[in-house]
């Protein structure tokens, strides 16, 4: 047997571009995309794509710096860019599933040179010394099309699943926006809280420095003791020792905010370097049944979308038990010479239905159905867990905010009383009515209470962030930003 010698040039072209489809295929793709827009969850929620605005929870605080940082973070945060990329991928996947409902048309062209073995044709030139068959040239081009009619919903089930996953990806973008904005607000409030504690320490250090000067003056006048002076010096040094740690905390929060808004730390430090007070927080926030509130949270809606997708995949997998009906067609030219290519007698076509059924492979079909059902059970359990965690977060945040507000009120009263007591102690000491121990005790109490007050203000802010995060339905976002 002689070796067959062939030379082929194949140019298959997958014509998935909508403009390249024939008119019938274009109509099929239009129907598929229209079905995608109405199957399952909405494909691209209102919260998805372009620059985002502030959340309504922060607008009541009237803090321009916070509003500006939130706007910048919702546009520049890199985690949001990653979430937006995942949303784009889910959209492309849905488009691919939609096009599965339309005909698949390919165009191809090839040239082949071959020699067939004479042994392939018994009785023709057989025997020792028989002449070899001549070389042949084959020129071939044409269109080939196939269209699965999807009688039992296998492809439509996959499309519904992709559509639900696209909706879930959109909710994940919104959930990422809520998380990033909450992180920015928390870091901003921590920054303001640290600046407040730093201001308290510096203010008390200045008061204690004046007290130290007073003890020195009384010592020089013979009305004080070195013991009082050294105790005043020790208290001042202790207060000054706390300042570097607070300055480090301020710098750390500045750096944290810079990363959250997508900028280098040094670029943002100057923007938030100016000290500012924490805003006044509302006495209460809108109530409502926790079950109703969490139902519109993006993480809950995202889990619900994944559950809907898993349900559709079960339906699609079950459709594999039933036959598939497709229409197949091809048309083109086949010639042995380039000159005759496209001439009379070289045109050929085929057309007809194709039915396939995995009659002897139902075990694999059942395994795929079992996998899809197990994934649906997992998605259901995860959805119920997300709902329970959301309710827990909302209940805990509500209690935490209420108790933090109550604690803050008591500490404000304590701070005002401690400040009056410290002033009276200094006056009594200057008048020689009380000893220096009362002054030290009053100033220590004032410093401790004012520091607790500053911490309590930060705790209220942090509780407000947690409650706002738990009530994510109150966030107002526009279309998601595009990747840079």
97-106, 160-169, 294-303, 339-348, range with the lowest pLDDT: 339-348
**pLDDT of 128:** 52
Q: What is the pLDDT of residues 311-342, one digit of tens each?
A: 999 999 999 999 999 999 999 998 888 888 77
**pLDDT of 451:** 87
The end-to-end CA distance of the chain, in Å, is 63
Q: What is the pLDDT of residues 19-36, one digit of tens each?
A: 333 343 334 334 343 433
Buried-exposed string 231-252: b where 16+ CB fall within 10 A, e elsewhere: bbbebbeebeebeeebeebbee
Is pLDDT above 50 for 450?
yes
**pLDDT of 35:** 39
**pLDDT of 314:** 96
CA distance 243 to 59: 33
Q: What is the pLDDT of residues 231-278, one digit of tens each?
A: 889 989 998 999 999 999 999 998 999 899 888 877 776 677 677 788
**pLDDT of 103:** 93
Q: What is the pLDDT of residues 181-190, one digit of tens each?
A: 899 999 999 9
CA distance 158 to 325: 17
Q: What is the pLDDT of residues 212-234, one digit of tens each?
A: 888 888 788 887 788 888 888 99
C-beta atoms surrounding 18 within 10 Å: 14
**pLDDT of 50:** 34
Q: What's the whole-number mean pLDDT along residues 287-314?
A: 90
**pLDDT of 292:** 82
Is pLDDT above 90 for 411?
yes
CA distance 185 to 97: 40
Percent helix / strand / coil, the chain, rounded to 5? 65, 10, 25
**pLDDT of 435:** 80
User: pTM higher than 0.85, yes or no?
Assistant: no
HSE at residue 250, side-chain half, CA atoms within 13 A, is: 21
Confidence band for 94, pLDDT divided at 50, 70 and 90: very high
Which backbone phi and psi does 122 adopt, to 5 degrees?
Answer: -60, 135
Helix, coil or strand: residue 209: helix
Q: CA 162, 163, 167 angle in degrees (round to 5)?
A: 115
Stated as kind and residue range, the H or E segment containing 196 is helix 154-220
**pLDDT of 124:** 60
**pLDDT of 443:** 85
| C-beta of residue 20 within 8 angstroms of C-beta of residue 105 | yes
**pLDDT of 40:** 42
Using only C-alpha atoms, the chain has a radius of gyration, in whole angstroms, of 38
**pLDDT of 76:** 87
CA distance 165 to 172: 10
CA distance 229 to 217: 10
Angle of helix 436-470 versus helix 362-430 axis, rounded to 10? 160
Confidence band for 172, pLDDT divided at 50, 70 and 90: very high
């Amino acid at each position: 047997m002689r070796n067959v010698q062939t030379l082929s040039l194949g140019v298959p072209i997958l014509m998935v571009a909508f403009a390249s489809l024939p008119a019938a295929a274009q109509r099929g793709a239009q129907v598929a995309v229209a079905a995608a827009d109405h199957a399952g969850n909405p494909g691209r929620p209102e919260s998805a794509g372009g620059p985002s605005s502030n959340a309504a929870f922060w607008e009541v605080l009237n803090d321009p710096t916070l509003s500006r940082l939130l706007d910048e973070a919702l546009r520049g945060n890199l985690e949001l860019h990653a979430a937006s990329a995942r949303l784009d991928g889910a959209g492309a996947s849905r488009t691919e599933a939609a096009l599965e409902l339309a005909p698949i048309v390919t165009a191809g062209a090839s040239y082949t040179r071959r020699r067939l073995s004479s042994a392939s044709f018994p009785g023709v030139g057989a025997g020792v010394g028989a002449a070899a068959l001549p070389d042949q040239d084959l020129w071939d081009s044409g269109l080939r099309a196939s269209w699965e009619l999807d009688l039992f919903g296998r492809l439509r089930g996959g499309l519904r699943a992709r559509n639900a996953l696209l909706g879930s990806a959109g909710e994940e973008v919104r959930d990422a926006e809520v998380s990033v904005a909450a992180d920015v607000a928390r870091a901003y409030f921590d920054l303001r809280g640290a600046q407040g504690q730093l201001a308290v320490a510096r203010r008390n250090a200045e008061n204690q420095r004046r007290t130290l000067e007073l003890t020195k003056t009384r010592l020089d006048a013979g009305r004080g003791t070195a013991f009082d002076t050294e105790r005043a010096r020790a208290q001042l040094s202790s207060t000054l020792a706390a300042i570097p740690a607070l300055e480090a905390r301020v710098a750390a929060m500045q750096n944290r905010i810079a990363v959250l808004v997508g900028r280098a730390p040094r670029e943002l430090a100057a923007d938030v370097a100016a000290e500012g007070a924490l805003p006044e927080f509302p006495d209460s926030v809108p109530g409502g049944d926790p079950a109703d509130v969490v139902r519109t949270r993006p993480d809950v809606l995202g889990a619900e979308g994944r559950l809907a997708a898993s349900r559709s995949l079960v339906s699609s997998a079950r459709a594999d038990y039933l036959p598939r009906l497709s229409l197949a067609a091809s048309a083109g030219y086949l010639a042995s010479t380039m000159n005759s290519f496209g001439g009379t007698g070289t045109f050929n076509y085929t057309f007809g239905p194709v039915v396939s059924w995995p009659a002897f492979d139902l075990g694999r079909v059942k395994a795929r159905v079992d996998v899809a059902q197990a994934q649906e059970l997992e998605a259901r359990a995860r959805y119920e867990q997300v709902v329970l965690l959301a309710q827990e977060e909302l209940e805990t945040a509500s209690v935490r905010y209420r108790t933090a507000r109550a604690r803050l009120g008591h500490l404000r009263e304590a701070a005002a009383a401690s400040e009056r007591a410290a002033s009276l102690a200094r006056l009594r000491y200057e008048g020689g009515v009380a000893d220096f121990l009362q002054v030290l005790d009053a100033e220590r109490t004032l410093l401790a209470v004012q520091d607790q007050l500053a911490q309590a203000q930060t705790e209220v802010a942090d509780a407000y962030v947690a409650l706002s995060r738990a009530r994510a339905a109150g966030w107002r976002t526009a279309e998601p930003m595009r990747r840079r």
